[in-house]
Structure 1
C-alpha cells in the first residue's frame, strides 16, 4: 500500500522511537519535537531528505543532520505560540495560567498570542506574516488528520447567545444529541451558540442530569464581557466537576481575538487568518451544517456554504438546516433567497427550515438519507 504524506509525519517522541527502531528517517517530516535526548539516534540513522520543523537538537546532532542534506527549520524564540505544532490545541493549552499565575486571562497563551498578532499586524512585519501562515498551515494539517473518517456536522450560530438562556440550553441539547448519534460536532469555537454546541458534545457521555446541573453553574458568568477570566473559570469548573467529556472540535480565530475560545471543545484549531478558518470549518462539515439564529457572521456562513452547494454538479451537496423560521424568514430573510438559489438544482433536496432546535437532528438525518455519499 502506498504511504500517504501523513504516514511520513512524526509528531511525538513515541512515533520517533518507532520509526528509528527500523533504522531510517529518510524522507520523514518531524514537527516540533524536543530531540535533545535523542542525540544518539540522530547520529546513527540516515536522515536524507528529512525535514525538521521546529525541533530542538543538540549542536552535534543538528550539524550531522544538516550535513546529510536534511532541511532544518529551527525553533523560533520568544513567540507565544509554536508555528510548527503538530497537534491541535486543547483548552488547557490555550488557557494555561488562567488561575495559577494570578494574572487571569491576560496571562494565558491565548491572550498573549492575540496581543502578538495585534502588534505585528500593525507593524506590517513580513517575518511575522510568514510565521502566521506557517502556523495556520500546521493547524490545517493537524485538523485534517484528526477528522479522517469522521462524520462532521457544523453548528453555526451567534456569539451573543448568553449562558442561562433557553436558546443556549437548546443549542447544548442539540450538540449532545448530535454527538450521541455518532457525529463529530464542529463549531466556530467561540462563545454563545458555539460554546453551547461544544458543551453539549462534552456532556454526551454523561447522564442527562449532568447538563441540567452544568447550565446553572455556567450562568453565573453569562458572558465573556466584562470578565473573560470569570467566564472561562466557570467553564473549567464544569470540566473539573465532570471530567472525561465527549470530543468535539472548535475552530476559532485570533482575528476576532476579543472573543475568547470556549473551553468545551477538546480539539481547538485556532487560526490567525479568519478567511482560512471560515472556509475550513464549512468545507470540513461533510455531514451537513445546522444554522442557529445569528447575525452578520452566521448569515455570511449560510451563503458561504450555499455557494459550493449551488455549483455542485454531482448531486452531492452537503445538507443545510436552518433553525427558527421567524428569524430566517422575517428578521434576516435568508431562507427565501436560499430557496430561490436552490430551485431546480441538486441542492434543492438538501436544504431544510425548521421551527425549533429540537427538530434539527431529525431534519439533518432526512437530508442525509438523500445524500448517501455524505456518510
Structure 2
C-alpha cells in the first residue's frame, strides 16, 4: 500500500524541526495525511475515528498521537508503524493534551443553568484535590502533561506580542475606586497596543482584564460595566452570582478586547475571571507565576497587594538582578504609601537595584494614571 513503510524498512530520517511539528486540527491532519506521511508529527487531541483509511494508508514512523480517538485497527496499525500512542483518558474534567488555551465559556460551561459547582473549572479543582490527596501518580503525570501543553499554547498565542503583566491582590472588590482604577489601566495599556496579562483571578486581576475587554468600546461602556458588577462585589459567598454578573457584562457588549489570564487550580477557592479572552490555567502554581513574569517582556505593574504580590515583586526582581533572562524588564510599583509604609517593599527593591542595570528599570508611582508614562520612560532610559 502506497505510503506504508514495512517493518524491515529503515526509519524515516527527519530534521528536528520536522519531527516536532504539531497537528492540532482535522484540516491540518487531512492536508498532511494526503502527502502519504505523518512521520515525525505530533498529532494532538483529535477525533480520528472517521480517518481510519488515512491512518491505515499513511506512514506514521516516529509520530506521536496524544489523546486522539481512533478505531482499534487504526491504533494497532500506527503503533506497528513506529508511532507512540497516548490514548484519551475518559472521565477527566480537562484534556491533558489540549493544543489551545481555555476560553471563559469553556471553563464556565453550565454556569447559568446549574451554578459554578457544575462547571468544568470547579470539577477540575475537585479532581485535583481528590487525586492529590490520594497520591495518584497517574493523575500527577496527567497534570504535568496538561501544564506543559498549556505552556506551549501560551507561547504560541503570545508570539510577537508586547506583553505587560499586571499584578495585584485578589481581595480588591468590585465597586471600589481601586478596582475602577485597575480597570482603567488595563483599558489604557490595551489601547496603547500592549497585551495585558494577569494572574487571571478576581480582584485587581479581574479589573485589569475587564479594562482590556472594554478597550474597543466607547469610554462609557466601562462605567456601565463597573456599575453592573458592583452588585456582586466579591466571589464569596457565591462564585455563581459573581461569575454570572461578569457574563452579563460580556453578553451585553460582546466582542471585547483580548487579554490573557494565567490562574491556577492550586488556589481553587479563587475562580478565574471571565474577562480574559485567553486563559492559561495551571495545576502547578510555581509554573504559573514564573511563566507570567517571564513572558511580560514589556514590563510588570504591581498594584497594591499582600503576601502574594510581594512574592511576585521579588520573583521578578531576582532574574532582573542577575540578568538571567537577559536585559532587566521594567517594574512599576503603584501607590507610594502602600509600598513604602504599609508594606515597605520599595526601599528593599531600590537597595537591590543600586549600581546594577535594573536600577534604570524600576519605578514607584502614585497612581495607575502614572503607569503608562513610567513604562515608556523606563524603556527609553534603558536604551535599545
Change (3 A) 1:6 1:90: farther
1:231-274 per-residue CA deviation (whole Å, 9 max, x = no partner) reads 00000001111111111110000000000000001111100001
How far off is 1:125 after superposition? Answer: 1.2
2: CA distance between counterparts of 1:295 and 1:5?
47
SS in 2 for 1:263: coil
| Corresponding residue number in structure 2 for 1:97 | 110
| Corresponding residue number in structure 2 for 1:78 | 91
Which of 123, 146, 149 pairs up with 1:112?
123
Which of 265, 271, 288 pairs up with 1:254?
265
Unaligned runs of 5+ in 1: none
Matched, 1:282 2:331: no
| Corresponding residue number in structure 1 for 2:220 | 209
SS in 2 for 1:110: helix
Q: What's the RMSD between the two structures over aligned residues?
A: 1.5
1:179-221 per-residue CA deviation (whole Å, 9 max, x = no partner) reads 1111111000000000000011111111111111111111110
2: CA distance between counterparts of 1:314 and 1:107?
41
Which of 226, 240, 261 pairs up with 1:229?
240
Which of 270, 292, 300 pairs up with 2:311?
300
Instruction: Tell me which stretches of 4 or more aligned residues in structure 1 moved more than 6 Å.
Output: none
Q: Where does 1:1-375 land on structure 2 (aligned, <5 Å)?
A: 4=17, 8-100=21-113, 102=114, 104-312=115-323, 316-372=327-383
TM-score (norm 1): 0.96
SS in 2 for 1:99: helix
Q: Is the 8 A contact 1:161 1:168 kept in 2?
A: yes
How far off is 1:18 after superposition? Answer: 2.5
SS in 1 for 2:111: coil
Change (3 A) 1:288 1:215: same
How far off is 1:99 after superposition? Answer: 1.4
Report the more deviating stretch, 33-42 or 355-364: 33-42
SS in 1 for 2:190: helix
1: CA distance between counterparts of 2:305 and 2:57?
57
TM-score (norm 2): 0.94
How far off is 1:23 after superposition? Answer: 2.8
Change (3 A) 1:372 1:47: farther
How far off is 1:11 after superposition? Answer: 1.1
Q: Is the 8 A contact 1:187 1:249 kept in 2?
A: yes
Q: Is the 8 A contact 2:200 2:273 kept in 1?
A: yes
Give the aligned length: 370
2: CA distance between counterparts of 1:328 and 1:15?
51
2: CA distance between counterparts of 1:66 and 1:315?
43
Q: Is the 8 A contact 1:315 1:346 kept in 2?
A: no
2: CA distance between counterparts of 1:129 and 1:324?
41
How far off is 1:15 after superposition? Answer: 1.9
1:13-37 per-residue CA deviation (whole Å, 9 max, x = no partner) reads 1221222233321110011111112
Unaligned runs of 5+ in 2: 1-14
1: CA distance between counterparts of 2:322 and 2:275?
35
2: CA distance between counterparts of 1:190 and 1:6?
37
SS in 2 for 1:318: coil
Report the more deviating stretch, 314-323 or 120-129: 314-323
How far off is 1:87 after superposition? Answer: 0.7
SS in 2 for 1:370: helix
Change (3 A) 1:115 1:313: closer
1: CA distance between counterparts of 2:117 and 2:87?
28
2: CA distance between counterparts of 1:143 and 1:5?
21
2: CA distance between counterparts of 1:241 and 1:5?
45
SS in 2 for 1:52: strand
